[in-house]
Amino acid sequence: MPAEWEPHESTWLAWPHFRGDWPGKFEPVAWVYAEVIRNLARHERVDLIVNDASWENRARAVLEKAGGLSGALADNVRFHHWRTDRVWTRDSGCIFLTPSADNSESGLLALHFQFNAWAKYPNYRFDQKVGARMAKAAGVRVVQPVIFVADPLNEKHRVVLEGGAVDVNGCGTLLTTEECLLSTTQQRNQPMDRAAYEQLFADYFGVQSVIWLDSGIAGDDTHGHIDDITRFVAPNTVVTMVEPNEPSENHMPLHENLGRLKNARTSDGQKLEVVEIPMPRPVVFEGRQLPASYANFYIANGAVLAPVFNDPNDRIALNSLAEVFPAREIVPIYSGDLIWGFGALHCMTQQQPGKTAVGG
């Protein structure tokens, strides 16, 4: 699995259509998507999933007004008519792999994990199909990771895993959280323990070292996804969220994660360089704290799209990302309305690597 900063052929997104994900804030979300697509299309192709032709027309109308289909950008947006339940392509879509240096197989591969809507929502039958459709459109072979359950029938079970649950450095090290994958209260893969996950990551991602953090942030709808708290930005460097305000419910979990990162080692035995970014002030809507985090940025070809929240810490986050990505444009995207859907820029995107890229 290549690192996100390695070359992309395209970025996959799905156009927002389900008002229930943003009650009272649905209209502004389309304009956030338009801003994201406009900036992505300057650097790489955008594969945009829409429910049908009528939704393509709606999306085109917004994109044209926002300048997302002007001039050469129009050639960099490709539409796909597929039904979806929600638009969090990071989690419902496939995960593309590139061949390693010692692999005789050429071209990309797509891992299509089982998707169960974070063991939380009943409507996901369309989203279950998105990963396979992405792979077919990309012209790559699909693999459905499975585990064997030790029972009298020795049954195979497809593994449930969302893309936002893992982050890799492209050199054999993976980040995840215990809350997401090891919690006994969730219904992802009950037969799997720590060792089973580490074997899965070795078998399918080419990972030799797994760094387990503790838990995610308050308001996270996914039960501790890593892409809201800690991200690789170089083979031996991570950015991680911290909460200096001790009364905050995020203070202790993020402090625990920071301690684990400082003691962690990559697959080649190197200590991590840890860049700390303070959380924005709590974003609360209708009495619920939302998972607003600067860690949910997306690394594109030539640019990093960074969520901002009209907060004093926005500048600290943008400056920190500019320091770790000196060759990329840092593009702030206001995400105060988007986060009401419990996801941000990384959650809505999924990268398709360049076919000639070599990971690990």
What is the tens place of the pLDDT at every residue in 4-56? 999 999 999 999 999 999 999 999 999 999 999 999 999 999 999 999 999 99
In angstroms, the CA 63 to CA 13 distance is 14
Give yes or no for residue 358 having a pLDDT over 90: no
Per-residue pLDDT, averaged over 187-211, amounts to 91
The enclosing domain of 226 has a CATH number of 3.75.10.10
Of 40, 34, 49, 35, whose CA–CA distance to 9 is shortest? Answer: 40
In angstroms, the CA 112 to CA 14 distance is 17
155 or 60, higher pLDDT: 60
pTM confidence score: 0.95
Residue 123 lies in a domain: yes
Residue 358 lies in a domain: no
Per-residue pLDDT, averaged over 144-160, amounts to 77
Per-residue pLDDT, averaged over 157-167, amounts to 95
Residue 219 lies in a domain: yes
Per-residue pLDDT, averaged over 229-239, amounts to 98
Share of the chain above pLDDT 70, in %: 94
Give yes or no for residue 336 having a pLDDT over 80: yes
The confidence score (pLDDT) of residue 104 equals 59
Q: Containing domain of residue 151, as a range?
A: 8-353
Of 296, 284, 311, whose CA–CA distance to 343 is shortest? Answer: 296
> Residue 152: pLDDT band by 50, 70, 90 thresholds?
low
Per-residue pLDDT, averaged over 200-212, amounts to 95
Helices (H) and strands (E) in the chain, counts: 10, 20
Give yes or no for residue 150 having a pLDDT over 70: no
In angstroms, the CA 217 to CA 206 distance is 28
Residue 237 lies in a domain: yes
Long-range contacts from 319-328, C-beta under 8 angstroms, 24+ separation: 320/239, 320/275, 320/277, 321/233, 321/239, 321/294, 321/297, 323/275, 324/233, 324/234, 324/237, 324/239, 324/275, 325/5, 325/233, 325/299, 328/299, 328/300, 328/302, 328/303, 328/304
Give yes or no for residue 359 having a pLDDT over 50: no
> Residue 190: pLDDT band by 50, 70, 90 thresholds?
confident
> Residue 62: pLDDT band by 50, 70, 90 thresholds?
very high
Give yes or no for residue 199 having a pLDDT over 90: yes
Please give the mean pLDDT across all residues of the chain.
Answer: 93
Per-residue pLDDT, averaged over 187-199, amounts to 88
Per-residue pLDDT tens over the stretch 207-220:
999 999 999 999 99
Residue 360 lies in a domain: no
Residue 3 lies in a domain: no
Query: Could you count the other beta carbons within 10 Å of the beta carbon of residue 240?
Result: 21
> Residue 191: pLDDT band by 50, 70, 90 thresholds?
confident
Alpha carbon 129 to its chain's center: 18
Residue 1 lies in a domain: no
Residue 34 lies in a domain: yes
- Counted domains in the chain: 1
Which residues make beta-bridge pairs with 300? 303
Q: Which helix (H) or strand (E) holds 197?
A: helix 194-205
The confidence score (pLDDT) of residue 19 equals 93
Per-residue pLDDT, averaged over 271-279, amounts to 98
